[in-house]
Amino acid sequence: MSTSLIILLLVAMAATAYVLVRGVVAMASGKDVSGQQQQNWMRKRVLFQAVAIMLVALILVVAGGPGK
C-alpha cells in the first residue's frame, strides 16, 4: 500500500510542477490582460499541492503505524 501511495505522491508532485510551469508561461506571455487564466492556474497548483501534502501525511501515518 505504501508503494502505491508513493507513486500517487510522485504523480501529485509532477502535476504541481506542470501546473506551475504552465502558469508561469501563461503569465509571461502577457496575452491574458484580466489575469483570469493565471488565477485558474494558481488555483490548480494550490489544489495539487494540497493533495501532495495530504499524501505525505498519509504516508507518514502508514509508516508509523503499530508494529513498526
- pLDDT tens-digit readout, 5-56: 899 999 999 999 999 999 888 888 878 777 788 889 899 999 999 999 999 9
Q: Which of 16, 9, 67 is nearest to 41 (CA)?
A: 16
CA neighbours closer than 13 Å in the CB half-sphere of residue 29 = 13
**Entry pTM:** 0.81
Listed by start position, the domains of the chain span 2-63
pLDDT for res 68: 57
C-beta of residue 14 within 8 angstroms of C-beta of residue 45: no
- Give the CA distances from residue 54 to residues 4, 11, 47, 61, in Å, rounded to whole numbers and listed in that order: 14, 13, 11, 11
pLDDT recorded at residue 34: 79
